[in-house]
């Protein structure tokens, strides 16, 4: 009990000093009477005379809110003309920092270990970076006992405890997985850093001894060779991650706490955040400081994170601000991200770099778009106290948060909804969260002196869609040919009934939903695959076009941002060299697909909003549907008009499509009609296609050119014979709202329809039968659908700001294509 006695004595001594300083402040501010202090307290603050007396005499440590209110009141009463003092006043900040330090001492005294000091070592925990999804995958599995944590009806990843927990002699401040997932480093009180085997739960060797005070943060280098640790007295040490031997120390010159340390993605830099209100960059190999410190925060800096590409550094601090920096030139990037009303404790980029998550003492976790510095959706607000830590899963489809009530929550960053019930187990502040590189483990640490491991119950994605047809021969199944899905198949072996069910669904080729892609700040209006299927382009009402790698669902490169209004359309040229985009303001832009730079001036302004832009299959024409009801044709190579526009539409043109041989153009209107045109003579061919009882929102030719499909606001989809202009069979019905978009699979085996009812339906064009159950996952109207060139993946876009990928059932398991 020596440690307990010592820590208790230290706290009482520090509490007495704190009270003495409060009394000195009262004297310096004119020795106001207790009644005057109570009467002058800030609005909403209760400062009773008895509580003030207890604080001034060191009877107990009051709450932080009480101390801040008392200090603000005393300062406001100073001088001949009292004036209000704000929460962010620098004079208040020093008291907030001192209270935090004292509260840590108090809690250490309360929870001092009853076990002897020889108890197995340490722990560390703190803000953690997302694991690199490119590193090798941890194949080991931890035996799990006890009931799983309920995840309700969510299709997302659930976690259950994997006991026993890892004990620590002091508070846990930080936890980190090694890049290959075979090690866990933890840091905490008493200056100890420990390394653990996540499979056996055993400490690997002795604690790493070198720090004299609490260690606030640990981080592995991307190559796994080094482990960095940072302490509250300003020291940053490097360790050989294999031998656990010291590998040097950064030459820090101040004694202020270093609260966070992290490596750049390429491993060449270290970034450290400090109570001295600065962030410093260091050379990983020479340990020398690089350039001047990054300054701008008005309070201690407590969070630091690199973007996955290393081009941005995010920092957060006690001033409630989140700042972005260019680590190459040490300059701030744009203005601070403002929204939090309390200290920012943790920051982390999503694996794709398109989101930044921050956790704060205001109890909120906010998501930001680093490109625009704007918040993405509403804050995550289920925390009942300070939010202390945040981490993305390697796939980016889950966000883990921790709070002072000991709760760890999982969130879907696309919908901002919690995923299942909170993970409970910590009996005091939960202070750290980190996912393993393969996403199968979640490590959490807290002030209850434990690090807890949670194992995934089942896959976060894909999820089988009930009722979808499947192919009897999985050998030809594109699902099993997909590298990511093959990896997931391997991971699923012997993981319980739920996992076996998913495995069977994958092998059978049932429709699969992949995790959503998030990044847009407003509704996604259009989606299209590149001709080679390696890229996915999405257009949004946030005035941008983003690019994604459909194999890993991560954003690729910077978005196209030169639009003056909502981007309503995006399309690739057939040879993949050009991209055309259009906005609601009437501008059409052409871009070089390789460099993503402008390929010339915007095409002459079109009147009104542009609803559709499409290249002819030969690539020689670009059709643009404008707000005046006309369709203009352009030569993409010269950017000149290709003759007169197509005129004579009955209403606004809502959709345009070329036949596979480029000889015909189909136009749909809000008058409920569809017209076919000869692309050479620019004259109508045959009669109008009439049958919908309301506007037609989309039109498409079948791959063999024999059919036209039209989508109507009357909730129906109609197929038409291109030669006779007559309906083929009865309308396809089932959607509960307007059908907004449709697309044929390139192999002709499926027709996808998207609706304002938030669902997507798959149809067999030959039999007119629904294929499987509706695809459910979007939380808003579905605005666009597109198949990959090989027909193996379907992309959908929605006003919920997300893009989703689906693996549809095989065309070979359905009827043969029509024609």
Question: What is the secondary structure of 146-193 as a DSSP string?
Answer: SPPPP-TT--S--EEE-SSPEE-SS-EEEEEE-TTSS-EEEEEGGG-E
Contact between 55 and 22 under an 8 Å Cβ cutoff? The reply is: yes
Contact between 631 and 616 under an 8 Å Cβ cutoff? The reply is: no
d(CA 77, CA 75): 5
Q: Which two tokens stand for residue 590?
A: 């052409």
Residue 766 pLDDT more than 70? yes
pLDDT at 675: 93
Short-list 738, 774, 772, CA closest to 756: 738
β 463-464/782-787 pair status: unpaired
Range from 460-464, 516-520, 576-580, 746-750 carrying the lowest mean pLDDT: 460-464
Residue that the structure tokens 């009955």 belong to? 650
Contact between 422 and 429 under an 8 Å Cβ cutoff? The reply is: no
**∠ CA 28-32-33, rounded to 5°:** 145
| In 514-566, beta strands by DSSP E | 517-518, 524-529, 536-540, 545-549, 554-555
Contact between 65 and 55 under an 8 Å Cβ cutoff? The reply is: no
Residues contacting 706, CB < 8 A, separation 6+:
721, 722, 723, 818, 819
Residue 528 pLDDT more than 90? yes
Q: Which two tokens stand for residue 265?
A: 């993605």
pLDDT at 44: 62
Residue 46 pLDDT more than 50? yes
pLDDT at 798: 93
Query: pLDDT tier at 158 (50, 70, 90 boundaries)?
Result: low
pLDDT at 500: 52
Contact between 191 and 130 under an 8 Å Cβ cutoff? The reply is: no
78-82, 210-214, 520-524, 660-664: which is most confident: 660-664
Instruction: Work out the number of other CB atoms within 10 angstroms of the CB of residue 724.
Output: 10
pLDDT in tens, 425-451: 888 889 999 999 888 889 999 888 888
Residue ranges of alpha helices (H) inside 696-782 are none
> Which residue segments constitute the domains of the chain, with CATH numbers given?
2-110 (no CATH), 159-456 (2.130.10.10), 474-508 (no CATH), 512-813 (2.130.10.10)
pLDDT at 506: 45
> Residue 528 forms beta bridges with which residues?
537
Contact between 273 and 258 under an 8 Å Cβ cutoff? The reply is: yes
pLDDT at 723: 93
Contact between 255 and 233 under an 8 Å Cβ cutoff? The reply is: yes
pLDDT in tens, 66-125: 888 899 888 888 876 667 787 667 788 778 777 877 777 676 665 444 433 333 332 333
pLDDT in tens, 187-215: 988 888 999 888 778 888 888 988 888 89
Residue that the structure tokens 């933890």 belong to? 186
Instruction: Work out the number of other CB atoms within 10 angstroms of the CB of residue 747.
Output: 16
Short-list 778, 775, 715, 701, CA closest to 745: 701
Is pTM beyond 0.85 here?
Answer: no
Residue 523 pLDDT more than 50? yes
Contact between 391 and 400 under an 8 Å Cβ cutoff? The reply is: yes
Query: pLDDT tier at 169 (50, 70, 90 boundaries)?
Result: low
Three-state DSSP state, 103: helix
Residues contacting 354, CB < 8 A, separation 6+:
369, 370, 371, 518, 519, 546, 555
% of the chain exceeding 70 in pLDDT: 81
Three-state DSSP state, 145: coil
Contact between 173 and 216 under an 8 Å Cβ cutoff? The reply is: yes
pLDDT in tens, 227-284: 999 998 889 999 999 888 899 999 987 678 899 999 999 999 999 999 999 999 999 9
pLDDT in tens, 624-635: 988 777 899 999
Q: In what order do the strands lie in the sheet with 278-283?
A: 258-263, 269-274, 278-283, 294-295
% of the chain exceeding 90 in pLDDT: 44
Looking at residue 790, what DSSP letter applies?
A: T
163-167, 625-629, 762-766: which is most confident: 762-766
SS3 track for 51-87: HHHHHHCCCCCCCHHHHHHHHHHHHHCCCCCCCCCCC
Mean pLDDT of 712-728: 94
d(CA 148, CA 156): 14
Report the chain's terminal Cα–Cα distance, integer Å.
85
pLDDT in tens, 545-574: 999 999 888 888 888 988 878 899 999 999
Q: Which two tokens stand for residue 527?
A: 């989606």
C-alpha distance from residue 346 to each of 128, 259, 273 (Å): 8, 10, 11
Across the chain, mean pLDDT equals 81
d(CA 184, CA 195): 6
Residue 815 pLDDT more than 60? no
Residue 315 pLDDT more than 70? yes
pLDDT in tens, 459-511: 333 222 222 222 333 333 333 334 444 444 444 433 444 445 544 554 555 66
Three-state DSSP state, 423: strand
Q: Which two tokens stand for residue 580?
A: 């055309």
């Amino acid at each position: 009990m020596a440690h307990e006695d010592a820590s208790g004595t230290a706290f009482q001594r520090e509490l007495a000093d704190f009270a003495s300083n409060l009394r000195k402040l009262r004297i310096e501010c004119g020795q106001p009477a207790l009644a005057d202090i109570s009467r002058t307290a800030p609005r909403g603050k209760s400062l009773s005379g008895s509580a003030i007396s207890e604080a001034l005499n060191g009877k107990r440590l009051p709450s932080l809110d009480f101390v801040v209110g008392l200090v603000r009141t005393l300062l406001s009463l100073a001088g001949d003309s009292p004036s209000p003092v704000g929460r962010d006043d620098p004079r208040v900040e020093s008291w907030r920092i001192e209270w935090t330090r004292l509260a840590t001492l108090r809690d250490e005294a309360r929870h001092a270990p009853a076990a002897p000091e020889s108890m197995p070592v340490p722990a560390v925990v703190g803000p953690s970076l997302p694991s690199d999804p490119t590193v090798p995958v941890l194949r080991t599995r931890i035996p799990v006992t006890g009931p799983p944590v309920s995840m309700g009806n969510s299709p997302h990843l659930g976690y259950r405890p994997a006991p026993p927990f890892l004990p620590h002699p002091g508070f846990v401040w930080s936890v980190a997985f090694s890049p290959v997932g075979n090690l866990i480093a933890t840091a905490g009180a008493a200056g100890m850093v420990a390394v653990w085997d996540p499979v056996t739960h055993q400490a690997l060797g002795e604690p790493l001894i070198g720090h004299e005070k609490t260690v606030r943060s640990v981080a592995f280098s991307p190559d796994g060779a080094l482990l960095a640790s940072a302490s509250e007295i300003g020291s940053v040490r490097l360790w050989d991650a294999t031998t656990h031997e010291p590998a040097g120390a950064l030459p820090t010159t101040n004694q202020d706490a270093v609260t966070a340390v992290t490596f750049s993605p390429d491993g060449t830099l270290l970034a450290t955040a400090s109570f001295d209100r600065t962030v410093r960059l260091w050379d990983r190999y020479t340990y020398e400081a690089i350039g001047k410190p990054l300054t701008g925060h008005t309070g201690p800096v407590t969070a630091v994170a690199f973007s996955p590409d290393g081009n941005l550094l995010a920092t957060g601090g006690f001033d409630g601000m989140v700042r972005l920096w260019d680590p190459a030139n040490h300059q701030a990037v744009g203005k601070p991200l403002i929204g939090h009303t309390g200290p920012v404790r943790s920051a982390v980029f999503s694996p794709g770099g398109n989101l930044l998550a921050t956790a704060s003492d205001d109890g909120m976790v906010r998501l930001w778009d680093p490109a625009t510095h704007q918040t993405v959706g509403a804050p995550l607000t289920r925390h009942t106290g300070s939010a202390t830590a945040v981490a993305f899963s390697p796939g980016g489809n889950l966000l883990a948060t921790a709070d002072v009530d000991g709760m760890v929550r999982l969130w879907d960053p696309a919908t901002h909804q919690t995923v299942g019930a909170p993970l409970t187990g910590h009996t005091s502040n939960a202070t750290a969260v980190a996912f393993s590189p393969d996403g199968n483990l979640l490590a959490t640490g807290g002030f209850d002196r434990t690090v807890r491991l949670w194992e995934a119950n089942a896959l976060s994605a894909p999820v089988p869609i009930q009722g979808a047809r499947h192919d009897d021969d999985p050998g030809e199944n594109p699902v099993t040919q997909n590298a990511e899905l093959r990896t997931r198949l391997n991971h699923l072996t012997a993981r319980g009934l739920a996992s076996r069910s998913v495995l069977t669904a994958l092998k059978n080729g049932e429709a699969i939903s992949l995790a959503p892609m998030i990044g847009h700040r407003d509704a996604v209006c259009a989606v299209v695959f590149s001709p080679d299927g390696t890229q996915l382009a999405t257009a949004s009402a946030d005035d941008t076009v983003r690019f994604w790698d459909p194999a890993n669902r991560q954003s690729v490169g910077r978005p196209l941002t030169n639009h003056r209004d909502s981007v309503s359309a995006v399309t690739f040229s057939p040879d993949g060299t050009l991209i055309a985009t259009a906005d609601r303001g009437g501008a059409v832009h052409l871009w070089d697909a390789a460099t993503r730079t402008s390929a010339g001036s915007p095409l002459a302004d079109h009147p009104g909003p542009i609803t559709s832009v499409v290249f002819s299959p030969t690539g020689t024409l670009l059709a643009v549907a404008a707000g005046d009801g006309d369709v203009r044709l352009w030569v993409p190579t010269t950017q000149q008009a290709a003759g007169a526009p197509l005129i004579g539409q009955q209403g606004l043109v809502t959709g345009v499509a070329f036949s596979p041989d480029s000889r015909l153009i189909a136009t749909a209107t809000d008058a409920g009609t569809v017209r076919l045109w000869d692309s050479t003579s620019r004259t109508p061919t045959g009669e109008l296609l009439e049958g919908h009882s309301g506007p037609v929102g989309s039109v498409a030719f079948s791959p063999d050119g024999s059919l036209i499909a039209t989508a109507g606001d009357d909730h129906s989809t109609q197929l038409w014979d291109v030669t006779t202009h007559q309906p083929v069979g009865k309308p396809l019905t089932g959607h509960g709202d307007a059908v907004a978009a449709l697309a044929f699979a390139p192999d002709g085996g499926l027709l996808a329809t998207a609706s304002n009812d938030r669902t997507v339906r798959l149809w067999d064009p030959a039999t007119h039968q629904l294929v499987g159950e509706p695809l459910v996952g979007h939380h808003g109207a579905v605005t666009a659908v597109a198949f990959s060139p090989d027909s193996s993946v379907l992309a959908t876009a929605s006003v919920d700001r997300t893009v989703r990928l689906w693996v549809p059932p095989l065309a070979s398991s359905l009827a043969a294509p029509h024609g």
